Amino acid sequence: MTRTHRSAALLAALILLLAACGGADADDGAATGADSPDTEAAEAGGEPIVIGAIFDLSGATADVGTPFADGAKAYFEWVNSTGGIEGRPVELLNADYAYDVANAEQLYSQYVSDGAVAFSGWGTGDTEALRTRVTSDEVPFVSASYSEELTDPAETPYNFVVALSYSDQMRVALRHISDTAGGHAEVAVFHHDSPFGESPLEDGETYVQEQGLDIGYRAYAMPAEATDYIGQLTQASQQGAQYAIIQNVSSPAATLARNIAEQGLDMTVVCLNWCGDELFIELAGDAAEGALGVLPWTPPGQADDLGPAGEYLEEQGTSPEDAGLHFTQGWYQVSVIGEGIRKVITDGQEVTGPNIKTALEEMDPYDTPVSEPIDFTADDHAGMDAAQVWEVQDGQWVSVSDAITP
Amino acid sequence: MTTFLQLTITGLSNGAILALAALGFALIYKATGVINFAQGEFLLIGAYAIFAAVASYGLHWSLAVLVAVVLAVILGLLIERSVLRPMIGESAVAVIMVTIGLAAVLRAIVQILFGTTPRRMPSFIPTGSVSVGDVTLPLERLFAIGLALIVMVAFSLFFTRSRYGIAMRAVADDQQAALTVGISVRRVFALAWALAAVSAVVGGLLVANITGVSAGIAEFGLVVFPVVILGGLDSILGTIVGGFVIGLLVQYTAGYISGGLSQVIPFIALVVILMVRPYGLFGEVRIERV
Amino acid sequence: MATIATGVYHRTYASELALRHTRVEYVRLALAALVLVLLPFFATPYWMTVANQIGIAVVGAIGLNILVGYTGQISLGTGGFLAVGAYTSGILVARLGVPTIVAVVVAVLVTALVGGFFGLPALRLKGLYLAIATIASQVIILYVVRTWEVVTGGTDSLVVPPPDLFGFQFDSNFRWYWIIMACAALAAMAARNLFRVGLGRAFMAIRDQDIAAESIGIDVVRYKLLAFAVSSGFIGLAGALTAHYRNIVTWERFTLEVSILYLAMIIVGGLGSVAGSVYGATFMIVVPAWITQFAQDVRGQLALLSRQLPAIQLGVFGLIIVLFLLFEPRGLNRIWQRVKDYFRLWPFRY
């Protein structure tokens, strides 16, 4: 037994030594946490443009975060393989931050100190926590958080909200409900238990009052560890709720939809953008039929032509439906950054944070195959101002209205 | 009244599943004295095994359950032999940490094999509901209660009527005396882990039907602790009762107070029980006092 | 059995109690100090953040080891106590404008009080029951943090401005390194001294034979609660340092996973040893950082590794714990002792 112990101890010591050596090598200043672009960037020969990005691949929102990350990374791969942005390759520094704010902050500091001139963020919590630093660092920050607080340049000059804000989505939903309900409508708002979930709540309530809509409005939190939402639904049915607006990601939203169906409740589910996708339909199954959604991004199966994203997917042999809504969303969202940088270069300017910011504000409306045109101004960093309402019919999202401006 | 009934049925069905999961935990603790922090991951593996068998290999669900049970038994035996056997005699902290480490490894394996995207468990439990007066009783949940009860009755019979069951109770009571009488403690340990894995497979299946197949199933494992403490670690009946009580408590809190509190209430109940009656409702009085 | 160097004589009690006896030990200490002092001038920013993380973790791990390794109590509530320390200090500075040093001291005291309170179950419970009670304390503390919005801000992040001490603005890794290392060194020395004194020995007596300890006059109730309080004080310091170093405090930083990580640190490092806490903290933080590094470097050849990185980190974490417990339950400390003994005794085997 002593012999086994000794050899085990020596083996452990060896491993430790290797780890230490590995650490020492890394100390020689390699760019850490870097995700270097494919070596097929042979055509792009200019000075690389460094962009930082954080994704949620294993945390609370990983179900939608993973396809989004795939789309975003695919865009930059495609850019590099087609000659870069005006001849300059993009170096994307990125990592999985598991929806943990402190991780996000650490990665942000690291990438900015490694020279990132723009940043693609993800969650509401971390985006709001990084606001002040983003402003003082002058790094244009495009995140997947569509929180309305980020759209006012007076408060957050460097944050850009590409899609319709959560509050606007809520307003569109409420407007649609008011128009189609034919009388009084009771609305229960189920939301993720986090800043992301709470983002549109107050604005929704204010909208009902300001517009004088005949809507009863109550919010219910969906705790992360819950396996079902029967309790909240019981309270909602006592409220008499006919509509359940869900501000959450697909997986819990699907569970809620299934709970509604199995309890035989007469509630129409209205998904905001993060649960309005094919994953929701797949997980909820039959319970998804008839659900409504405010989708600023068109489901890929419904778009006529997916542009470069579609070509890329074809080359990879993946159908757009398999890649999912969030793939094309990720692609086109980060392409906004790409377009801003392109404008900076074609204007003959240096690629710096402040210049990219100005370029984004002065850019012509940017038309993507999967959304309304995206347009920023110096007074308004909300990229979109309208969205269509969709409905699940036969397991597909189908548009049931024109673009509604709240 | 209907709200109350609705919550009660949901609470009982969740409680039944909790009781199943807790059963495995209590089994292992009773027989081997090991605190298995990996119980949640056993549920996870059970659920994914059935999912993989049905979705990827197209097996009929009864066959899939059988395959999953066999796999779970093998896994349980393997773990007992390779990880837990060398840890006999080590301090409680060490054993707890080993099961925690094991839980991490199991979760990582599942993540590597299946990814993080949640899936839908192919449903072979009859969907639809039964209406009794104003109350809608989803068939899925009634089925869950029924299945869990059957499994638990089977276990009870096993422990009271079969030779190995009685042997396990003997080992749980006093290992040395059991050895003297000629019971193979090694076999009993292996059996305990195997049975715990089996109950986890069934539990995992039921959980996955409600929440979908994803890593979230493992979180269920944490609520097992209040259940076993409430019921009393020494008693199978206590575990079952504890499961139902906690299940109901969570649902009533969610329905009448708030969703957030309902997640914490099992632990508050736990603290209360530990202060008032630490050996649980049905357990033996064995706690030391300073 | 750890061997003792020959030729060491003590003529006074003081020299017998000394922490180091031989010249070799002093040389090793000097080398370690040299490395620590020179590190910030040569490390990349990434490894500086890792070093700072290690420093904070060392403080927390020492605290936990006092409770688990020296007093024999199981505690899975470390995350909760870190949260108490971080939020107390953060709120005092961010909302009430209290000077940072005062805030940190208050945070330490508050956490010690809270820890003492949550140590009450330990008076009646042992083993599994105590472990579960501490899990409950962890869950309940986090729930309070998340819902007591008036005080903690609920699920929003608490932003704490970088501190201004002695005329310096502490917002860079380099500057923080000195503070954190100073705190870690102080914590280590305090802990070492604790166990040369009656209080520490009482803790160890409780761990070894608490009934016998009671019979020779050690008030087990008082000392158990004190153990929880002292341990939580250290952990509170680690939490407060985190709040000011990171500038962003969220509840997600203090979950059960963190408690498990700290427990893993002291188990891998070695229970009942301050040096073990240091080794364990360093190991459990460096290994994931190194794996991430490695995954990036081999990204071209083994893309699988980088895609599955979170799962691999998790798996390696679990594997480390299991393998250490199977093959060397007394941890890195024991392994290092064996290495020293090997050289000390060479060419003999024992």
Question: What's the domain range around A176?
Answer: 166-295+388-399
The pLDDT score that the predictor gives to residue A138 is 92
Same structural domain, A256 and A176: yes
Q: Name, in order, each residue with C-beta under 8 angstroms of B278's C-beta and a sequence gap of 6 or more.
A: B229, B287, C124, C125, C129
**B176 interface with A at CB cutoff 8 Å:** no
Same structural domain, A56 and A134: yes
Dihedral (C-alpha) B149, B155, B157, B159: value to the nearest 10 degrees? -150
Q: CA B224, B229, B234, B236 torsion: positive or negative?
A: negative
Q: Do B262 and A262 touch (CB under 8 A)?
A: no
Same structural domain, A65 and A123: yes
CA distances from A47 to A39, A41, A115, A297 (A): 15, 12, 12, 33
Q: How many domains does chain A have?
A: 2
How many Cα atoms are found within 13 Å in the side-chain-facing hemisphere of B68? 30
SS3 state at A268: strand
> Mean pLDDT of residues grouped by 10 in chain B (290 residues)?
81 88 86 86 90 84 87 91 86 88 93 84 72 73 84 85 87 85 89 89 85 81 88 82 92 85 89 82 63
The pLDDT score that the predictor gives to residue C2 is 66
Q: Given a cut of 60, is residue A26 above it in pLDDT? A: no
Q: Given a cut of 60, is residue A8 above it in pLDDT? A: no
For chain C, what is the HEC assignment? Answer: CCCCCCCCCCCCHHHHHCCCCCHHHHHHHHHHHHHHHHHHHHCCHHHHHHHHHHHHHHHHHHHHHHHHHHCCCCCCCHHHHHHHHHHHHHHHHHCCCCCHHHHHHHHHHHHHHHHHHHCHHHHCCCHHHHHHHHHHHHHHHHHHHHHCHHHHCCCCCEECCCCEECCEECCCHHHHHHHHHHHHHHHHHHHHHHCCCHHHHHHHHHHHHHHHHHHCCCCHHHHHHHHHHHHHHHHHHHHHHHHHHHCEECHHHHCHHHHHHHHHHHHHHCCCCHHHHHHHHHHHHHHHHHHHHHHHHCCCCCHHHHHCHHHHHHHHHHHHHHHHHHHCCCHHHHHHHHHHHHHHHCCCCC
Contacting C residues, span 42-81, partner chain B, CB-CB under 8 Å: 68, 74
Rounded Cα gap, residues B266 and B223, in angstroms = 7
- Residue A43: pLDDT band (50, 70, 90) is very low
Residue A233 burial (CB count, 10 A)? 26
Is A63 part of a structural domain of the chain? Answer: yes
Q: Given a cut of 90, is residue A245 above it in pLDDT? A: yes
Same structural domain, A286 and A358: no
The one-character DSSP state at A382 is B
Percent of chain C with pLDDT over 70: 97
Rounded Cα gap, residues B276 and B205, in angstroms = 35
Q: Do A262 and B141 touch (CB under 8 A)?
A: yes
- Residue C148: pLDDT band (50, 70, 90) is confident
Contacting C residues, span 128-157, partner chain B, CB-CB under 8 Å: 128-129, 131-133, 135-137, 139-140, 143, 146-147
**A113 interface with C at CB cutoff 8 Å:** yes
Same structural domain, A66 and A194: no
- Residue A1: pLDDT band (50, 70, 90) is very low
Q: Which of B249, B240, B246, B244 is nearest to B282 (CA)?
A: B240
Is A38 part of a structural domain of the chain? Answer: no
Same structural domain, A276 and A394: yes
The pLDDT score that the predictor gives to residue A30 is 34
Q: Which chains touch A (3 or more CB pairs under 8 A)?
A: B, C
Rounded Cα gap, residues C23 and A144, in angstroms = 59
Residue A174 amino acid letter:
L
* pLDDT digits 0-9 by tens, C48-57: 888 999 999 9
The pLDDT score that the predictor gives to residue A23 is 36
Percent of chain A with pLDDT over 90: 37
Residue in the structure block whose two tokens are 């009864």: B62
The pLDDT score that the predictor gives to residue A42 is 41
Residue C344 burial (CB count, 10 A)? 16
* pLDDT digits 0-9 by tens, C279-322: 999 999 999 888 877 877 776 676 677 677 888 888 999 999 99
Rounded Cα gap, residues B214 and B120, in angstroms = 9
The two beta strands, A118-121 and A49-55, are: parallel
Lowest mean pLDDT, pick from A128-137, B196-205, C122-131, C325-334:
C122-131
Size of interface B-C (CB pairs under 8 A): 138
Q: Give chain C positions within 8 Å (CB) of B275.
A: 121, 124
Rounded Cα gap, residues A100 and C254, in angstroms = 11
Rounded Cα gap, residues C180 and C237, in angstroms = 10
The pLDDT score that the predictor gives to residue A343 is 92
Same structural domain, A393 and A262: yes
Q: At what angle do helices B236-256 and B220-231 cross, to 10 degrees?
A: 120
CATH of domain C45-345: 1.10.3470
* pLDDT digits 0-9 by tens, A344-381: 999 988 989 999 999 999 999 998 888 889 999 988 89
Same structural domain, A97 and A221: no
Q: What are the counts of helices (DSSP H) followed by strands (DSSP E) for chain A?
A: 14, 12
Same structural domain, A279 and A310: no
**DSSP states of B78-121:** HHIIIIIGGGTTS-HHHHHHHHHHHHHHHHHHHHHHH-S--BPP
For C163, the token pair is 């501190």
E strand residue ranges, A98-171: 118-121, 141-143, 159-160
Same structural domain, A187 and A284: yes
- What is the biggest distance separating any 2 CA atoms in chain C, rounded to whole angstroms? 67
Contacting B residues, span 214-253, partner chain A, CB-CB under 8 Å: 214, 216, 219-220, 250-253
- Residue A31: pLDDT band (50, 70, 90) is very low
For B147, the token pair is 């299945």
- Residue A33: pLDDT band (50, 70, 90) is very low
Q: Where are the domains of chain C?
A: 45-345
Rounded Cα gap, residues A36 and C63, in angstroms = 40
**C327 interface with A at CB cutoff 8 Å:** yes
Reported pTM:
0.87
Q: How far is B185 from chain A (nearest CA, A)?
A: 23
The pLDDT score that the predictor gives to residue B53 is 87
Residue in the structure block whose two tokens are 């548009």: A399
B176-194: b (≥16 Cβ within 10 Å) or e: eebeeeebebeebbbbbbb
For B75, the token pair is 């896994």
Query: Quick one: average pLDDT of A162-172?
Result: 92
The CATH number for A224's domain is 3.40.50.2300
Same structural domain, A215 and A322: no
**A69 interface with B at CB cutoff 8 Å:** no
How many Cα atoms are found within 13 Å in the side-chain-facing hemisphere of A366? 25
Query: Quick one: average pLDDT of A253-259?
Result: 91
Same structural domain, A113 and A65: yes
Question: What stretch of H or E contains A393?
Answer: strand A388-393
